[in-house]
Amino acid sequence: MPKLNPPEAKTNSPGSNTLIQIESLSLHYGESKALKNISLTLGEKVVTAFIGPSGCGKSTLLRCLNRMNDLIDNVRIEGSCKIGGHDIYSPDVDVIELRKRVGMVFQKSNPFPKSIYENVAYGLHLHGSKSKPEIAAVVEQSLRSAALWDEVKDRLHASALGLSGGQQQRLCIARAIAIKPEIILMDEPASALDPLATARIEELILELKKDFTIVIVTHNMQQAARISDQTAFFYIGELIEFDSTAKIFTNPAKKQTEDYVTGRFG
C-alpha cells in the first residue's frame, strides 16, 4: 500500500498557496448542462463557501473535486480541474488516491451501520495495515478533532445509528478526517440539523480550518458569512461572483449577487 505523502511545506498565511485550480469547467448530465464554463482558484487552508439558489450546481461542482460524479451515468466533463498542480481528470490519475486526499461530508449524514469506532476506523482499515493501538489512537484523535470524543468515549462500540443527527454528522466528519485528507468537501453539512447542532458544526469547521482546506456548500447566508474566508456565488450553472466573503456580503460587484445576498438577509 502506498503511504500517504508527507504533507508538503506549508506557509501559514491562508490562501497564499494555490491548491485547487478549476479552469473553464463545464459539466453535462446527459443533454442538460449543469455547469457552464466555471473558472475558480482556491488557496490552501482556506474555507470557501459555495452559495446560490438550489439547483444552481453547487453540489455538482463540489462533487467534481473528488470525482464523485464518475459514479453517475452519462456525465460529461470539459475543461480542467487541478489539485496541487495535477489535473485530476487526466487518465493517469487514480481516483481512489484522489479521494483519500479529498474527503467529503454529505448533506444527509450517512454513518455506516457499524459501531462508532468502526465508522472512524473504516478508512484506516482500507488504507494500510496500521497496528491496533495506532488505529485506536487515530480514532480518538479524529473524534476529538470532530468535538465528539467526550460524548461518545463511553460507548465507542455502540451502533453509530443510535447517535443524534448532529452527532452523526460530526461522526461523519471524524470519519473523513481520520484518513488525513488535505481537502474536505462539505455539502450543506448542517442543513438537516437544529440550530444548536449547527452551531457546533460551525465551531468545528473554524477549528478544522487550521489543518484542512475546506470547501462548503451552504444555503445559509449567515453561516457562509460566519465561517468562510471566500465565497463563490452561483446562478443556474454559472459562477457569478467569487471574492472574499467580506466583499461578497458587504459590497458585491454584481447586482445578482447583491439581490441574492440581501434577499436572504432581509
Ligand X SMILES: Nc1ncnc2c1ncn2[C@@H]1O[C@H](COP(=O)(O)OP(=O)(O)O)[C@@H](O)[C@H]1O
Please give the grid coordinates belonging to residue 252.
458585491
Q: Which residues bind Mg ion (CB under 5 A)?
A: 59
Binding mask 85-124 for another protein (x = CB under 8 A): xx-x---xxx-xxxxxx-xx-x-x-xxxx--------xx-
Burial of residue 20, with CB atoms counted within 10 A of its CB: 0-12 exposed, 13-18 middle, 19 or more buried: buried
The reply to whether 167 sits near another protein by the rule CB under 8 A is: no
Contact 34, 46 (CB under 8 A): no
Report the C-alpha gap between 179 and 176 in whole angstroms.
Answer: 6
The CB density around residue 213, as the number of other CB atoms within 10 Å, is 25
Shortest distance, position 139 Cβ to ligand X, whole Å: 31
Report the C-alpha gap between 183 and 14 in whole angstroms.
Answer: 14
The reply to whether 217 sits near another protein by the rule CB under 8 A is: no
Report the C-alpha gap between 142 and 147 in whole angstroms.
Answer: 9
Report the C-alpha gap between 181 and 65 in whole angstroms.
Answer: 13
**Spatial CA neighbour of 29 closest among 58, 51, 57:** 57
Q: Which is nearer to Mg ion, 234 or 242 (CB)?
A: 234
Q: Which is nearer to ligand X, 115 or 230 (CB)?
A: 230
Binding mask 8-47 for ligand X (x = CB under 6 A): ---------------------x----x-------------
The size of the interface with ligand X (CB under 6 A), counted in residues, is 11
Q: Which is nearer to Mg ion, 106 or 149 (CB)?
A: 106
**Binding-site ranges for another protein (CB under 8 A):** 2, 4-5, 66, 68, 71, 73, 83-86, 88, 92-94, 96-101, 103-104, 106, 108, 110-113, 122-123, 125-127, 161, 172, 175-176, 179, 182
